[in-house]
Amino acid sequence: MSNTHLKESIDILKQSGVRITPQRHAILEFLINSHTHPTADEIYKALEGNFPNMSVATVYNNLRVFRDAGLIKELSYGDASSRFDFSTSNHYHAICDECGKIVDFHYPGLDEVEHFASHVTGYEINKHRLEVYGLCPECKSKKKNQ
């Protein structure tokens, strides 16, 4: 499945006139295979061994290209670093208060919120976002064992 996502994403970039460099390919592949919503620094650290000439700025610039092409979402939740999500479908996030880990979840009933909000306010609603916060299983276990 990730090979299909990679090929489709590369096709979208090429159609937008974006040249596919080895670094761009590696960053995109990393995002597709990652389910952790990494920061640019985490992506850089994971790939720097394969690309000694790559800088953090290269990662940021490529993430901007991917975001502008609609391939990824940039998630900012008030902390210092944005996180990046390859899944651009409608979904929600559970965020750990302790370690910052973000996990996707789907809840189709929340799509009705947009319709209701539009009805009540008269707004033309085009998107919504939901985050829930708590302790992930790992941090919960650590706290229990302290």
pLDDT digits (tens, 9 = 90+) for 80-103: 678 898 877 778 889 888 888 888
User: Does the annotation place 106 within a ligand binding site?
Assistant: no
Annotated binding residue 136: yes
Is 139 one of the annotated binding-site residues? Answer: yes
| Burial profile 93-129: b = 16 or more Cβ within 10 angstroms, e = fewer | bebbeeeebbeeeeeeeeeeebeeeeeeeeeeeeeee
Which domains are assigned to the chain? 2-85 (1.10.10.10), 92-144 (3.30.1490.190)
Distance CA 113, CA 110 (A): 5
The overall pTM is greater than 0.85: no
Q: Please report the pLDDT score of residue 59 as a whole number.
A: 96
Tokens of 23: 């670094």
Task: Tell whether the model's pLDDT for residue 128 goes beyond 70.
Answer: yes
- Is 96 annotated to bind ligand? yes
